Structures are given as C-alpha cells and as structure tokens.
Structure 1
C-alpha cells in the first residue's frame, strides 16, 4: 500500500526533525512544504497523525506550533465548505466568514480527543458552523435587537419550517405559540423583531419599475415627506387662534401676511404710526406663537 507521504508527492518531505529542533516527538511529524497542495483525502489521514502528536507535544514549543498551524492550514477546506452554506447571506464578505469559521476550526483542534473514535471532520464542522452562526447572530442585524429575540428568531424559523411541512401551509401565530410553548404575544414580538435582521438597499430595483435598462430603484418609487403637509397642519392649528383676535388684529394679520403690505402702508390704512403697527404685529405674533406651542 502506498503511504500518505508518497501519495502527496512533492507536497510532503520525509519524516524528520523540524529545522533547529531535534527530538523524537518532532521527528515523527512529516514536513509539509505546501499545505494547500494536500488533497482532502490525504489531509484526513495526516490530521490523525498531527492530532496524535499534538496531544503529547508541549504547548508553546516550536514543534507544537508547527503541528497546530499545519492542522489549521490542512483543514481550511472544511471552513470553506461550511462558509459556502452562508454565501447568500448578503452584506458580509466571504473572507470575513472564512476568518470567523477558522476560529471554530481552531477551537475544534484544541478540543478534539482521538479517544472518541470520531472523524475530525465530523467533529470540527459543527464548531465551524456554530461560530459562523454566532457571528451572524451577533453582528449582522440591521437594527439593535435584544439577544433573546435574536435567539427566538432561530427557533421560530425552525418551527415554521417544521409546521409548514406538517400542515402543508404557513402556521398561524397560535400554532407557533403552541408548538414552542410560548405566549402568542412573545411570538408576535419575535416575528416583528425578525424584520430587523436585514435591511434592503434603496438602490435595489423596484418590482414596480419598468423592465429593461430603465428600471427604477426603490428610492425612486418610495414616498417622502410632503413639505406642504406641514403648512396645512399649521394653518389648521392657527385658524381657531385667529378667531380669538379682535377685528383690528385680524385685519393687521391679513394686510401684513396675506397682502404683504409694509408696516408704513398698514399704518396709513389704519391711521396709526408705523411704530405702533410694529408693536401690534410683535404682540399678535407672540400671542399666536404661544397658542401654537400649546396646541403642539
């Protein structure tokens, strides 16, 4: 039978001591020139060798670091495999997800026990996936949502999938509450909070847009605040306040703000001085402003 070292060709050197570090323990580890060229099948076999030696090497030594780092590099294919499951989770760079998944791989290496008689890949993938899911749960919500509601969203997703398969339709809030053993109010709160998981871009093409290159974005078809509405609201609030003024005060307001007459013109019309008109306008405006503030 061809040995693992021979199967990988030039990728592996012969089993030997690490440069500058003689010793029986290190001499039993193959020297791998390029971990990227190790085939997945060979990586599985080599991982067993490195994991076995890792358990007897002294932590912090050069030999220990070589074994641990090589294990990480050889098993990055597991991280990429797991990360591919999350490639449609928009907003996050694939490299970021791989880095997070690598943390899970490292945890798996540090906690793996050969005595369990479990394949390392089988043991490591849940750690990798769990770390990636934690990353999404903690960092990718579009708005701040309490941790309990983030976790409830996951439970709701699983419950909805299971009940939909059993009922052949989407489950109701009552059915979800019964399935999870939670109050309906909490289910509703969780469903509402789930809307904060992701936010769409205003540059996303609108379904209402025209087909072709002239398709409009969501920003083009979304409504916006109408500045005229504020004017309508202000006039609606102002109307009863104007009714409280006497005839001369209302006439002054009409001439100054309706007809846009100057204070001198208003004074000539009423037979009073411009200074008197100015004082009257100041008092009227102050009275109206106070009334508007109370109404607000």
Structure 2
C-alpha cells in the first residue's frame, strides 16, 4: 500500500501556510484524521496490559499524532511515518509506565489474604510463636491449601525492582541480569513474511536498489555507479521505496512490530 501523494501535498501546504491563515487548521485536522488508523493500531499493541483500556490508549496515541503533525519538518526530507510512529509510541509507553497499576486480585482472594493475616496475628499473640498453617486453617475453619493460597496472594500486592540485588548473591547480581532476551531471529521471520508482498508491489528498479543497499550492503554511491544514475536519484528512489513499505506495514491489518516505524533508513 503506497503512502498517498495527497498527504505529502498536504504537509507541503501546511508548511507554507502562516499561523494566521484559517486554512491551516483545516489542513492540520485533515492530516490528523487521515493518520488516525496508525494511532489506533499502536494503541491495540498495548490494550489490556495492566488494565489499560484501548479507548484511553487511542486518545494518548492521538495526542502523540497531533504533536507529530505540529512538529514535522518537511524541509528535512524524511517521511512523516518514520517521525510520527516513534512519537506516538513514546506517548503510549509513558502513559502505561505512569498509570499502570499493580496486579488486581479477585475480591475473594483479597478477603482471604486479610483473614489469614489477621488470624496469624491473633494466634501469634495467643501462642507466643508463629502459628502453623494447620493452626490457622483450624482457627478459620478452612483448608490448609486455602491458607497457603491466602499467604501467597500477599506477594501480588508488592512490586520488586529489577535492579534489586538477588538474595544470597555475593557479586551484586540483580534480578534484571537473570532475564532472557528477545530472539531477534524470530522477529525477522515475521518481518520477512510481512514485507514480501509489499516488496513485490514495488517497481523492478526499486526492488533492485533495495537489494543492493540492504542485502549486498552497497553504499548509495556504489549503487549509482552500478545502476547508471546519480547518487541523488538513488537517494530519492530509496526514500520513496521505504516510505511505501512503512505505509503498507502501518496500515496492513494485524499487529506487526514494524508498525513502529523501525524499517531501516537508507544511508549514504
């Protein structure tokens, strides 16, 4: 799916209109409205995480979109999506980080936890020692499994920093040091499958230039000599091809990671 030329023209028009021109607001609103599907797509990636509602995330992503439209500088020659998508992702990530709450437990488990804690306190005072689970179970007339469940629920009410040193570690090893990493190879498989039909829609020359640049790792100058055109023309063709791929990934149904605008840029 090709990035609409009319949107490129609208950005050029917006850049030329003075702040006092009443047409500026209409052009700006049109650009925001046309890119709302990208904001909604980004919001879907985070919906449901830690109780995040999709409607709230769409609003946050839209704020990022508006900021991107206002701050986009057409004179720099880059396409809008490569600038706007990271801006929207940043807004959503900040919102999730600042407003996400700890795990919400069902009321039954919350009440069970409070009952077990109170019973443990009462029995400790009465017995002069920490009560066994069987004694708490008898006191509350419940099973020992429920007592253990109520005690374990208490761990859900507290968060632990990933930078906290592991218990018993003598080398300062932190919890974050024990976490695994994302397998980039698995992501690349999905990337290739999603990009293939989009690449096939490009012209033969665009496919050739992309292959020389990102498969053979040739510079733009080397590609220009190989193809027989100027380096400036190669730069324009690369920018145009990457713009089409970004737009296609951002508007293709599904939740592909490259909707974040992470397709590589052509470099000299």
TM-score higher than 0.5: no
Q: If you compute each CA radius of gyration, which structure gives the higher value, 1 or 2?
A: 1
Q: Answer 1 or 2: higher relative contact order, Cα 8 Å, separation at least 6.
A: 2
Instruction: Pick the TM interval, shorter chain.
Output: 0.3 to 0.5
